[in-house]
Chain A
């Protein structure tokens, strides 16, 4: 096969057949399913009288619509409730493994897959959700798909697709104090733009990436889609293998040894060729804060809101002007002078145990500022919640004035009751600052968990590297 990238290896191991124009039929190992993008797919199967190709490849969970408090009372919104009940009944009818809303293993689909060991190196992983790129942290080829493709995978275990270009994002050096995987992700997007990775699969590599925990790697790959890349990935190493050992869905015994031997081959070969390479110096990356309505509208916390008048590209300038108007911000305002109304710590980007620990460390012994109306912490899964409570993190948050909630997507996209009111400004650890994303008229600033906790305490953005 010669010298190959990690992406080449993953792709080649899953090609079933190829059309003359390069369109390939790619075999899918793991299919994650949630309530929002699956009902129409199950309905399509039913209408066509088709069966699931391999029900054991599917793991289902409701996450987008679930309430994060008072869960025992069920879902109040009848439309949302019907959607979750539809997932339950489809899973029962088709024999699909589902973690129901009150199961301790329930959580955000991109948190529970890895937590259960349902995501393994070398797999192809899909889900009707753009943040499926998260699972690439395990040297898997993982990407989001639409509902028609969800149905296609259900019926055929395959997807029709063309190979993407390979992009290497190389981050060497040591990250500074208070600088996290989230800041690396935002810095990359700030550099290449939200369309910078369009048509590409991104491999993240370099000494700063190798030094990241699996939680950090997931945060980074999660946001590959925000750089326009359907897939992000990182080579498998000891960190990957140690994380997976003894997880419920991970292989055991002899199979484990056999799997590990294969997983150790899942890295780009020396001298492998990429279509594009982007380099960042880890030491130069500062804690990041977005100021606009696209994740590429981002600056370092010690920076200022940019001035659209200095932008030469007309489309960019108009976009920035519109964003500042929507965000209620003036050009040249120092980021640390922006006051916030709400704080959201959660989402498939930053709701894992390490994120909980990092935010709690900042909040410990302090209190949420009086101008902050709500600071909420939403763990990514029931098991993350349980672990955090065993470590006493919930008590730290509650003592500091944060609300400690039940797991779900929550205010990342505000499909449930957790949302911003028009004009409210939020420091959020989620992944999208689009207009209306966290509630119509809501203003979102994307940051790391440490930065969000620090902003909650101060009432405005602060540079965590200085506290």
Chain B
């Protein structure tokens, strides 16, 4: 997994609540058995004017000029600014895969759906919860200023705006540790093989029907 420590990234505002994972990556792209290559189809139905299918040459498709990600000023954005309940719906990890492949490294929103939030951390993508009023202020600031960037410091758990305003954010210590060091969860868990085996033996004795 890609480490996350510091980011100084261009921000793109996606001004709608309840953005679901079907919108982030539509179902037809879920037929892939790979983990990569979803970026060109992130937000496919909003981003293009035609219907997208796997295997299409996306560079030849007609883009929707009204969709915010297509606006020239937001090209190369690494920070996605979003509204409430971002990533709701399906558990598809293809959603963070698509966002990460597109180039995003951090998402800022007042709230995230639980499974999506969790999936982000497994893919070097940092989801940051900020109060709705602060997010609202950021939306106004981004829209008002071309080239608006935010500095995200995971170690310090801060976001710094161009005007010097510093926003503190919370992140669970364990997730932070894994993300800062690009650690593989499975490798970490397998350090506790003995404890898992001991638990399993006890569990089997208590509920033998689970192992029948």
* A, B bound: yes
Q: Is B155 an interface residue (CB 8 A)?
A: no
Stretch at the interface among A139-147, A344-352, A451-459: A139-147
Q: Which residues in window 64-86 of B have CB below 8 A to A?
A: 83-85
- B22–A436 contact, CB under 8 A? yes
Stretch from A12-20, A232-240, A282-290 at the B interface? A12-20
* Chain B interface size range: 35 or more
> Does the CB pair B92–A37 fall under 8 Å?
yes
B186 at the interface (CB under 8 A from A): yes
Pick the contact of B209 from A17, A228, A251 — CB < 8 Å? A251
User: Chain A contacts of B89 at CB under 8 A?
Assistant: 130, 432, 434
Q: Report the nearest B residue to A40, measured CB to CB.
A: B35
Contacts of B88 in A (CB 8 A): 194-195, 228
Determine, out of B5-13, B100-108, B115-123, B158-166, the stretch whose residues face the partner at the interface: B115-123
* Proximity string of chain A (115-132) to chain B, C-beta cutoff 8 Å, 1 when within and 0 when not: 000001011000011101
Tell me the bound Cα distance from A128 to B21 in angstroms.
14
B3 interface residue per 8 A CB criterion: no
- B69 shortest CB reach to chain A, Å: 16
B196/A16 in contact, CB under 8 A = yes
| Known interface pairs A123-B210, A146-B119; A40-B33 also in contact (CB < 8 Å) | yes
Task: List residues of chain A with CB within 8 A of the CB of B35.
Answer: 40, 43, 147
Partner of B91, one of A37, A256, A322: A37
Interface contact A79-B32, CB-CB below 8 Å: yes
Contact of A21 among B20, B111, B113, B173 (CB under 8 A): B173
Contact with A315, one of B84, B186, B200 (Cβ below 8 angstroms):
B84
Instruction: State in angstroms the CA–CA spacing of A230 and B185 once bound together.
Output: 21
Q: Are A434 and B91 in contact (CB under 8 A)?
A: no
Q: Which listed residue, A65, A161, A437, touches B22 by the CB 8 Å rule? A: A437
Asked if B174 contacts A149 (CB within 8 A), the reply is: no
Q: Which residues of A contact B59 (CB under 8 A)?
A: none
Q: B151-182: which residues lie under 8 A (CB-CB) from chain A?
A: 172-175
Of A151-159, A376-384, A398-406, the segment with at least 4 beta carbons within 8 Å of chain B is A151-159
Instruction: Tell me which of A198, A258, A413 contacts B111 (CB under 8 A).
Output: A198
Q: Give min CB distance, B91 to chain A, whole Å.
A: 4
Encoded as 1 (CB less than 8 Å from any A CB) or 0, chain B from 3 to 38 comes to 000000000000111101011001110111111000
Nearest B-chain residue to A128, judged by Cβ: B91
Say yes or no for B190: interface residue by CB 8 A criterion.
Answer: yes
- Contacts A145-B115, A322-B16 given; indicate if A259 touches B207 (C-beta within 8 A): yes
Chain B residues, CB < 8 A from A155: 186, 189-190
Asked whether any CB of chain B lies closer than 8 Å to the CB of A178, the reply is no
Count class of interface residues, chain A:
35 or more
Chain B residue with Cβ nearest A154: B186
Q: Are B31 and A156 in contact (CB under 8 A)?
A: no
Measured between alpha carbons, how far is A360 from B46 in the docked complex, in Å? 38
State the total of A-B contacts with C-beta under 8 angstroms: 191
Contact B54 A79, beta carbon cutoff 8 Å: yes
Contact A230 B186 (CB under 8 A): no
Of A22-30, A91-99, A204-212, which binds chain B? A22-30
User: Which of A79, A122, A195, A316 sits near B113, CB closer than 8 Å?
Assistant: A195
A160 interface residue per 8 A CB criterion: yes
The answer, yes or no, to whether B58 is at the interface (CB within 8 Å) is no
Q: How far is the CA of A162 from the CA of B118 in the complex (A)?
A: 11
Question: A161 contacts which chain B residues (CB < 8 A)?
Answer: 118
B203 within 8 A of A: yes
| Shortest Cβ distance from residue B126 to the other chain A in the assembled complex, whole angstroms | 15
Whether B122 pairs with A40 at a CB distance below 8 angstroms is no
Chain B residues with Cβ below 8 Å from A50 are 186
Chain B positions within 8 Å of A, measured between CB atoms, are 15-18, 20, 22-23, 26-28, 30-35, 45, 51, 54-55, 83-85, 88-93, 96, 111-115, 118-119, 122-123, 172-175, 185-186, 188-190, 192, 195-196, 199-200, 203, 207-212
Q: Which residues of A contact B (CB under 8 A)?
A: 13-14, 16-17, 19-21, 23, 25, 27, 29, 36-37, 39-40, 43, 48, 50, 53-54, 56, 64-65, 77, 79-80, 82-83, 86, 120, 122-123, 128-130, 132, 143-149, 151-152, 155-158, 160-162, 164, 194-195, 198-199, 228-230, 251, 255-256, 258-259, 262, 294, 296, 315-316, 318-319, 322, 413-415, 432, 434-437, 440
11 A–B pairs (Cβ distance < 8 Å), ordered by A: A21-B172, A40-B33, A79-B32, A79-B54, A128-B93, A157-B196, A315-B17, A319-B18, A413-B22, A434-B23, A437-B22
